[in-house]
């Protein structure tokens, strides 16, 4: 899944996906998280240019309400300058320490400018340096689902000159901002009961060392003067030699029992909106999947939150509970500030993995029988998929993000649809732009009202991915599509009529055909 944001007043090509996201529910696969984050890093480099890699830090906003306000209210003797994804604001000739206690302020889309106004008034008065997000696009990116969790949610960073100033300023900010709501900053400790004021110890001056893998690792000095990594975990972890100024101790969790019932066994995946976990229901002794949604995480510019989306997913799963085309929703509950959805555990492979394991084109010496089986599997899988989608439509639901990640194939080739985050009830007045380039229709990518045709278009693109999963390639070369499909059908010894089916589904002509 990719979360697509469209810039106001501008039509962005598919290659300029603003914020993207992918996830998997196949808990059998132990995915290499390091590889996953490298994969995400590559795509941050195409946000500014769809054809060439470009560092996201080269982004220059055309307009920024954040900058405009600070610039208009900048005190005499202060200056503002861009560095990377931030505008730095500081008194001239200020001398900051290399490292120390920093304050982070989170925000939501609908209160970000107000928070900046209130926070900056205190910081200007106290003469404390700070930085803030370039604009609302960068702010949404930093708050997006797959931004590095150790750095996510930080709208404003405040740089006190010493611990005494830190204590004074954080209390002043708390008094001014305590009525606001924003995401919990995972790397930090919360100050008192504030929803937007957090702090951590770390580097102030940007210092890095180059790792053997080519990554720039942030560093600080230990008491002996040695450079050590400035660890930015998605949980509060001050250096061993540093004492928290308010006596707060990092929390250590061992066994986690949610709702005094669900024992978490392992994490399937993590992201900024929350994790997905494998757990056991201690009441029934059965394994379940638990999806988590953190509070005050905006998933689009309308103010829709991650918890709103999870509630909607629960409602849809309950609506189709007895249709046997999706996991059953077993429970929905809130614990602390987080919302949790419990689903039955469904065994199987997503369609992407099924292709990787079974495609004859990916085998060294495929047999004739391999090709025959792959064709028979194609027929069964897509007959079942079309049947499942038609059932959804009969119940007034458009799935929308029907990519090969969200189609679970069981051992008998029956289908379960998973991850209903972007699913749409007909008649809803708003919908999420959670889409996968290469699978989403042109109309969907342009933000038009969801329709059943979007799902049929996606079925066609899944057929193409079944031949060979390289759908995003067509964004670079649309004219290659016909030849690509024809050649793959020949290589797989598939009947050429499959191309007609793909084209019919792609062109909204899905009535009256059979596989």
**What is the pLDDT, as a whole number, of residue 510?**
66
SS3 at position 175 = helix
pLDDT tens column, 31-66: 333 333 444 566 678 788 877 888 899 999 999 999
Q: How many other CB atoms sit within 10 Å of the CB of residue 453?
A: 18
Name the CATH superfamily housing domain 253-347: Phosphorylase Kinase; domain 1 (3.30.200.20)
The predicted model gives 250-262 an average pLDDT of 87
Looking at residue 427, its pLDDT comes to 85
pLDDT at 492 over 80: yes
Q: Choose among 485, 466, 457, 461: nearest CA to 380.
A: 466
Token representation of residue 309: 């989306």
* 387: CB partners within 8 A, 6+ apart: 415
Mean pLDDT of 494-512: 87
Pair 482, 467: CB distance under 8 Å = no
Please tell me whether residue 108 adopts helix, strand or coil conformation: coil
Under CATH, what is the fold of the domain 61-229?
Answer: 3.30.2430
> 3-state DSSP call for residue 348?
coil
pLDDT category, 437, cuts 50, 70, 90?
Answer: confident
Q: Is the pLDDT of residue 353 over 60?
A: yes
**Given this chain, do its domains 61-229 and 349-506 carry the same CATH topology?**
no
CB neighbour list of residue 487: distance below 8 Å, 6 or more residues apart: none
Q: Around Cβ 300, how many Cβ atoms within 10 Å?
A: 20
Average pLDDT over residues 171-182: 98
CATH superfamily of this structure's domain 349-506: Transferase(Phosphotransferase) domain 1 (1.10.510.10)
| Percentage of residues of the chain with pLDDT beyond 70 | 90
Each domain of the chain, given as residue ranges in start order, spans: 61-229, 253-347, 349-506
Q: Where are the alpha helices (DSSP H) in 290-446?
A: 306-319, 351-358, 368-394, 442-445
The answer to whether the beta carbons of residues 343 and 289 sit under 8 Å apart is yes
What pLDDT, on a 0 to 100 scale, did the predictor assign at position 513? 57
Q: What pLDDT, on the 0 to 100 scale, is given for residue 41?
A: 62
What's the DSSP call for residue 336?
A: T
Strands 276-281 and 257-258 come out as unpaired
Helix H or strand E segment including 504: helix 497-506
Q: Minimal CA–CA distance to 383: which of 347, 418, 415, 349?
A: 415
Average pLDDT, the chain: 89
pLDDT (tens digit, 9 = 90+) per residue, 315-330?
A: 999 999 999 999 999 9
pLDDT band at 514 (very low <50, low <70, confident <90, very high): low
Separation CA 440–CA 273 (nearest Å): 23
pLDDT at 70: 98
pLDDT of residue 72: 98
The values of phi and psi at residue 113, to 5°, are: -65, -40
Is the predicted pLDDT of residue 454 greater than 90, yes or no? yes
DSSP of 426-459: TT-S----EE-TTTS-HHHHTTPPP-HHHHHHHH
- With 60 as the cut, is the pLDDT of residue 158 above it? yes
pLDDT at 5: 33
| pLDDT at res. 511 | 61
Residue 348, pLDDT above cutoff 70? yes
Residue 168 scores a pLDDT above 90: yes
* Cα–Cα dist 118/287, whole Å: 48
Element at 221 (helix H, strand E): strand 216-221
**Residue 301: alpha-carbon gap to chain centroid:** 15
pLDDT digits (tens, 9 = 90+) for 9-34: 333 332 223 233 333 333 332 333 33
Q: What is the DSSP string of 105-143?
A: E---TTTHHHHHHHHHHHHHHHT-EEEEESSHHHHHHHT
The pLDDT score that the predictor gives to residue 144 is 86
pLDDT at 333: 98
Q: Rounded to whole angstroms, how far apart are CA atoms 30 and 53?
A: 29
HEC sequence for 61-89: CCCCHHHHHHHHCCCCCEEEEEECCEEEE
CA distance 195 to 107: 9
Mean pLDDT of 408-416: 96
- Whether 85 and 206 have beta carbons less than 8 Å apart is answered as no
CA distances, 211 to each of 127, 202, 228, 382 (Å) = 36, 19, 12, 46
267-276 pLDDT tens trace: 999 899 999 9
Q: What is d(CA 130, CA 448) in angstroms, rounded to the nearest whole number?
A: 40
Q: What ranges make up the beta strands (E) of 64-190?
A: 78-83, 86-91, 99-105, 129-133, 156-159, 189-190
The tens digit of pLDDT for each residue in 365-377 reads 999 999 999 999 9
Q: Of 13-22, 141-150, 186-195, 461-470, which gets the smallest average pLDDT?
A: 13-22
Joined tokens for residue 481: 């599509």
Residue partners of 503: CB distance under 8 A and separation at least 6: 460
């Amino acid at each position: 899944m990719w979360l697509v944001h469209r810039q106001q007043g501008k039509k962005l090509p598919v290659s300029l996906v603003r914020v993207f996201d992918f996830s998997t529910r196949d808990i059998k696969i132990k995915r290499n998280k390091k590889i996953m984050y490298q994969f995400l890093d590559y795509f941050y480099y195409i946000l500014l240019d769809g054809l060439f890699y470009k560092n996201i830090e080269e982004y220059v906003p055309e307009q920024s309400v954040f900058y405009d306000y600070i610039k208009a209210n900048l005190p005499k003797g202060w200056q503002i300058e861009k560095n990377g994804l931030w505008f730095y604001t500081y008194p001239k000739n200020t001398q900051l320490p290399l490292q120390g206690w920093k304050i982070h302020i989170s925000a939501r889309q609908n209160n970000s400018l107000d928070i900046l106004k209130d926070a900056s008034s205190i910081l200007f008065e106290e003469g404390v340096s700070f930085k803030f997000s370039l604009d609302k696009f960068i702010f949404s990116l930093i708050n997006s689902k797959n931004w590095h969790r150790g750095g996510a949610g930080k709208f404003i960073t405040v740089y006190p000159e010493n611990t005494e100033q830190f204590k004074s300023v954080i209390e002043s900010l708390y008094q001014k901002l305590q009525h606001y709501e924003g995401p919990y900053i995972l790397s930090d400790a919360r100050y008192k009961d504030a929803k937007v004021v957090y702090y951590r110890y770390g580097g102030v001056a940007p210092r890095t060392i180059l790792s053997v893998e080519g990554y720039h690792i942030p560093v600080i000095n230990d008491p002996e003067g040695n450079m050590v990594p400035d660890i930015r975990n998605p949980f509060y972890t001050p250096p061993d030699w540093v004492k928290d100024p308010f006596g707060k101790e990092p929390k250590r969790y061992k066994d986690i029992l949610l709702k005094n019932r669900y024992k978490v066994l392992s994490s399937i995946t993590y992201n900024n909106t929350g994790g997905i976990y494998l757990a056991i229901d201690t009441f029934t002794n059965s394994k379940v999947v638990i999806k988590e949604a953190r509070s005050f995480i905006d998933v689009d510019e309308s103010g829709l939150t991650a918890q709103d989306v999870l509630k909607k997913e629960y409602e849809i799963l309950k609506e189709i509970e007895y249709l046997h085309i999706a996991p059953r929703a077993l429970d929905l509950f809130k614990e602390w500030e987080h919302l949790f959805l419990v689903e039955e555990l469904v065994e199987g492979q997503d369609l992407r993995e099924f292709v990787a394991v079974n495609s004859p084109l990916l085998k060294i010496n495929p047999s004739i029988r391999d090709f025959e089986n792959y064709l028979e599997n194609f027929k069964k899988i897509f007959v079942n998929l079309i049947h499942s989608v038609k059932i959804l439509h009969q119940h007034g639901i458009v799935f929308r993000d029907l990519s090969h990640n969200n189609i679970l194939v069981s051992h008998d080739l029956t289908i379960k649809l998973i991850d209903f985050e972007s699913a749409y009830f007909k008649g809803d007045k708003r919908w999420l732009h959670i889409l996968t380039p290469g699978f989403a229709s042109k109309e969907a990518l342009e933000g038009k009202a969801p329709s059943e045709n979007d799902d049929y278009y996606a079925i066609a693109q899944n057929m193409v991915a079944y031949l060979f999963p390289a759908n995003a390639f067509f964004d670079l070369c649309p004219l290659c599509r016909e030849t690509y499909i024809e050649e793959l059908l020949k290589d797989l010894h598939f009947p050429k009529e499959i191309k007609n089916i793909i084209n019919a589904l792609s062109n909204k002509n899905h009535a009256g055909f059979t596989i």
